[in-house]
């Protein structure tokens, strides 16, 4: 998938030389929407959340949550647009052990928490040009994923069986491809609204405190967008 990116960059450079963009072809974009994590059967091999499901009850879809962000875009030609932006996502999911409880038969609770801030740069392609009342596009880019994953609450010592409180956390910065698809509809002289589906794919490396050393950061973004051209 990452091979798409250098091809698009080459096309953009060529198009930028051949056909300059119209004047004032730049702007800001703001978005809100939902982030949907990859399902259990499609997550990377050895993903920590899949491993956790062997020992804990929790809802993986509980990580599906609100996301928001902003972008700056620049029209390179009538059909190509460069874009860079940042997105923010964070959510936590409650969990309990599957096969163990406290001496008083109460659950042993934990919380699993993930934060992810993709910083991206890419290219959007408008097959029918960037003007008009209806502007569909596709595109691809590269994301820098700044993330933090933690598990905190009560845990069982595997050697003694004792229950103790702790917080385990790991963070990192990883790269991965991002794919875009959407539509933009002008509603005024300098304002447009639209929707975008965005796919991201990246894997983070965790510390040795967890059941696995991998966290799958991939998933789908479904976004409502407002563009302001200047």
Q: What is the pLDDT of residue 159?
A: 87
Is 23 within the bounds of a domain?
Answer: no
Is 155 within the bounds of a domain?
Answer: yes
Q: Total structural domains in the chain?
A: 1
Handedness of CA 70, 75, 76, 80 (dihedral sign): positive
Is 18 within the bounds of a domain?
Answer: no
Q: What is the pLDDT of residue 16?
A: 42
Question: Nearest CA to 86 among 59, 56, 116, 55?
Answer: 116
Is 178 within the bounds of a domain?
Answer: yes
Q: 173: domain CATH number? A: 2.40.160.20
Is 27 within the bounds of a domain?
Answer: no
- Domain around 204: 4-13+32-229
Q: How many of the other CB atoms lie within 10 Å of CB of 166? A: 12
Q: What is the pLDDT of residue 25?
A: 84
pLDDT block averages, 10 residues each, the chain of length 230: 45 43 76 98 97 97 98 96 98 97 95 98 96 95 98 94 96 98 94 98 96 97 96
- In degrees, rounded to 5, the angle at the alpha carbon of residue 148 between the alpha carbons of residues 166 and 110 is 35
Is the distance from CB of 136 to CB of 168 less than 8 angstroms?
no
Is 129 within the bounds of a domain?
Answer: yes
Q: How far is CA 217 from CA 6, 110, 173, 224, in A?
A: 23, 21, 11, 21
Phi, psi of 199 (to 5 degrees): -110, 135
Q: Give me the torsion for CA of 131, 136, 142, 147, rounded to 10°.
A: 120
Question: Nearest CA to 222 among 180, 176, 177, 174?
Answer: 180
- How is residue 84 written in tokens? 């860079």
DSSP per-residue codes, 75-106: E-SSSEEEEEEEEEEEEEEEEEESS---TTS-
pTM (predicted TM-score)? 0.88
Is 205 within the bounds of a domain?
Answer: yes
Is 26 within the bounds of a domain?
Answer: no
């Amino acid at each position: 998938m990452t091979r798409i990116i250098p091809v698009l960059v080459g096309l953009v450079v060529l198009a930028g030389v051949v056909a300059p963009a119209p004047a004032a072809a730049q702007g800001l974009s703001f978005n809100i929407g939902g982030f949907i994590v990859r399902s259990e059967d499609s997550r990377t091999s050895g993903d920590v959340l899949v491993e956790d499901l062997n020992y804990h009850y929790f809802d993986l879809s509980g990580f599906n949550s609100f996301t928001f962000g902003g972008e700056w875009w620049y029209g390179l030609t009538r059909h190509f647009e460069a874009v860079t932006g940042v997105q923010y996502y964070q959510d936590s999911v409650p969990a309990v052990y599957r096969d163990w409880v406290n001496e008083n038969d109460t659950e042993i609770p934990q919380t699993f928490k993930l934060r992810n801030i993709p910083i991206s740069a890419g290219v959007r392609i408008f097959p029918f040009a960037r003007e008009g009342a209806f502007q569909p596009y596709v595109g691809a880019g590269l994301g820098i994923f700044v993330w933090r994953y933690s598990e905190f609450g009560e845990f069982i010592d595997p050697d003694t069986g004792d229950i103790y409180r702790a917080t385990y956390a790991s963070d990192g910065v990883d790269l991965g491809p991002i794919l875009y698809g959407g539509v933009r509809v002008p509603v005024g002289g300098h304002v447009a609204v639209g929707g975008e589906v965005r796919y991201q794919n990246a894997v983070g490396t965790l510390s040795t405190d967890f059941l696995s050393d991998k966290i799958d950061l991939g998933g789908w973004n479904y976004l409502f967008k407002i563009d302001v051209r200047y």
